């Protein structure tokens, strides 16, 4: 709590002296009496005592689980629990990460004892956890000569957890783990895709006997299918400084990366694969690959709210070598990696090639924020294209996502160049 002088009444006594001087010089008592008004105001200001606010403030947000991009109305109700406050100004502590789109988060009013004032404004919500800062309350007495500033804390948090959105098909690469699933392998076993025919051995299930061949040639044979196995996937979001560059709708690229990771997770979880997530950035986040509804919830919340995936610029240093080693250590040996990154620097190419070389099949989804006419921008575009080419040369699949189209479209386009 601080009290300060506003000094607004400075000079009032000078005016009084001026009036008296005019009155004396011209012999007009009216002018002298006019000076009395200045005296009255000076006395008024001298009795200044800015009240200590005793307020009961309540903040309500219109929606408890807003969607990404939804507008919510924030309403503040202030009750004066003490004496009359002639001049009360309040500034709400709107979270820095959110924008006010309608109304104002401030009010100036005067409150009698026991009375209530309300005001409201509209915020546009984005993914993440947003906490309100303390409210600033400024009180003055009637003359306004002194002002008292108080901070009042009313805790509120807005959490926006966007649902993981299915992106249609997302084919994986052919390295796998030992659970039965949907990734075709080059081994023979049980599955649904035809692989080969061999001689019938006693004990083979009769459902797999090739009856047509028996009818045709009279020999018993068994059909074998490609053994399908479940995949273990880790989506890695590039959360370094480079991802804070803005995309077309003024959202930082990390948002697109998170959206892509969420989409891959949704699609592959639906297909029965185990999916996890990691943040490659100053804040380490790690969700090991898992299955099921609970896991999906946990993944969704982590991607929405954890610091490692947040849109605000990081205030920690990033030590690439350490984080990469940690990632390698945590990755299950048979896990595929879906790396979501704008590919705006060369370091990331090294990391990816190393992952691929150590047996983790890598697929990259890269939102494209380049494009533009200045020489610097054109250079950035060319450099990024060359990085993609280098990655593809090592067998890494890259989805070059043009942000003017949807991700499913970008994936479909990229698939055309993929072999099994």
Q: Does 104 bind other proteins (CB under 8 A)?
A: yes
- Site membership for other proteins, residue 29 (CB under 8 A): yes
Length of the chain: 420
Find the part of the chain contacting other proteins (CB under 8 A) among 24-32, 218-226, 257-265, 280-288.
24-32
Is residue 183 a contact residue for other proteins (CB under 8 A)? no
Of 57, 61, 73, 107, which one interacts with other proteins (CB under 8 A)? Answer: 107
Q: Could you tell me which stretch among 20-28, 291-299, 302-310, 366-374 binds other proteins (CB under 8 A)?
A: 20-28
Residue 40 is a binding residue for other proteins (CB under 8 A): yes
Strand partners of residue 199: 221
**DSSP state at residue 182:** S
88, 258, 264, 304: which one binds other proteins (CB under 8 A): 88
- Considering only the stretches 98-106, 234-242, 318-326, 402-410, report the one whose residues sit in contact with other proteins under the rule CB under 8 A: 98-106
Place of tokens 């160049």: 417
Q: Is 3 in the site for other proteins (CB under 8 A)?
A: no
3 state DSSP class of 271: coil
Q: Can residue 143 be called a binding residue for other proteins (CB under 8 A)?
A: yes
Nearest approach, Cβ of residue 151 and other proteins (Å)? 15
Nearest to 256 by CA among 242, 270, 268, 269: 242
Number of residues that bind other proteins (CB under 8 A): 59
Candidate list 138, 152, 271, 412; residue touching other proteins; CB under 8 A: 138
Q: How many CA atoms lie within 13 A of 146 on its CB side?
A: 14
Q: Which CB atom, from 96 or from 187, has the smaller least distance to other proteins? A: 96
Beta-sheet pairing, 232-238 with 336-340: parallel
Shortest approach of other proteins to residue 126 CB, angstroms? 14
> Is 146 near other proteins (CB under 8 A)?
no
State the Cα–Cα distance between residues 375 and 217, nearest whole angstrom.
71
CB contact set of 11 (below 8 Å; sequence gap of 6+): none
C-alpha R_g of the chain: 34
What is the closest distance, in whole angstroms, from the C-beta atom of residue 192 to other proteins in the complex? Answer: 55
Considering Cα of 275, then 363, then 300, then 93, what sign does the dihedral take? positive
8 forms part of the interface with other proteins (CB under 8 A)? yes
Torsion of CA 213, 216, 220, 222, to 10 degrees: 0
Q: Alpha-carbon distance 297 to 103, whole Å? A: 35
- Give phi and psi for 30, each to the nearest 5: -55, -40
Closest to other proteins by CB, 27 or 203: 27
Q: HSE (CB half, 13 Å, CA atoms) of 49?
A: 4
Q: Confirm or reject binding of residue 150 to other proteins (CB under 8 A).
A: no
Is 89 a residue that touches other proteins (CB under 8 A)? yes
> Applying CB under 8 A, which residues contact other proteins?
6, 8-9, 11, 13, 15-20, 22-24, 26-47, 86-89, 91, 94, 96, 99-101, 103-104, 106-110, 117, 119, 138, 142-144
């Amino acid at each position: 709590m601080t009290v300060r002088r506003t000094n607004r009444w400075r000079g009032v006594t000078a005016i009084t002296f001026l009036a008296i001087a005019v009155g004396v010089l011209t012999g007009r008592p009216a002018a002298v009496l006019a000076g009395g008004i200045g005296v009255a105001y000076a006395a008024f200001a001298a009795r200044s005592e800015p009240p200590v606010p005793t307020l009961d403030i309540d903040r309500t947000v219109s929606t408890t689980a807003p969607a990404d991009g939804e507008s919510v109305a924030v309403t503040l109700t202030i009750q004066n629990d003490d004496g009359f406050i002639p001049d009360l100004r309040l500034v709400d502590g709107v979270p820095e990460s959110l924008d006010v789109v309608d109304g104002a988060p401030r009010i100036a009013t005067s409150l009698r004892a026991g009375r209530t004032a309300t005001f409201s404004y509209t915020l546009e919500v984005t993914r993440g956890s947003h906490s309100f800062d303390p409210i600033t309350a400024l009180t003055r007495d009637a003359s306004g000569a002194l002002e008292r500033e108080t901070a009042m804390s009313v805790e509120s948090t807005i959490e926006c957890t966007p649902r993981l959105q299915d992106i249609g098909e997302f084919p994986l690469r052919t390295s796998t783990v030992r659970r039965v699933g949907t990734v075709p392998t080059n081994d023979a076993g049980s599955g649904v895709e035809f692989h080969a025919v061999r001689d019938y051995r006693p004990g083979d299930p009769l459902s797999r006997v090739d009856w047509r061949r028996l009818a045709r040639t009279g020999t018993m044979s068994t059909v074998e299918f490609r053994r399908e196995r479940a995949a273990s996937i880790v989506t890695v979001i590039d959360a370094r400084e480079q991802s804070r560059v803005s995309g077309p709708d003024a959202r930082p690229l990390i948002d697109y990366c998170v959206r892509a990771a969420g989409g891959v997770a949704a699609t592959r979880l639906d297909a029965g694969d185990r999916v996890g997530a990691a943040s490659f950035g100053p804040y380490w986040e790690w969700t090991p690959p898992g299955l099921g509804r609970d896991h999906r919830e946990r993944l969704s919340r982590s991607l929405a709210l954890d610091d490692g995936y947040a849109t605000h610029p990081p205030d920690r240093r990033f030590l690439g070598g350490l984080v990469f080693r940690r990632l390698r250590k945590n990755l299950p040996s048979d896990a595929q990696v879906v790396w979501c990154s704008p590919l705006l620097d060369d370091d990331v190419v090294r990391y990816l090639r190393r992952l691929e070389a150590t047996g983790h099949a890598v697929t990259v989804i890269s939102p494209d924020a380049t494009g533009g006419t200045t020489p610097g921008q054109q250079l950035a575009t060319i450099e990024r294209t060359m990085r993609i080419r280098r990655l593809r040369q090592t067998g890494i699949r890259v989805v070059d996502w043009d942000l003017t189209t949807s991700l499913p479209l970008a994936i479909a386009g990229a698939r055309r160049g993929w072999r099994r």
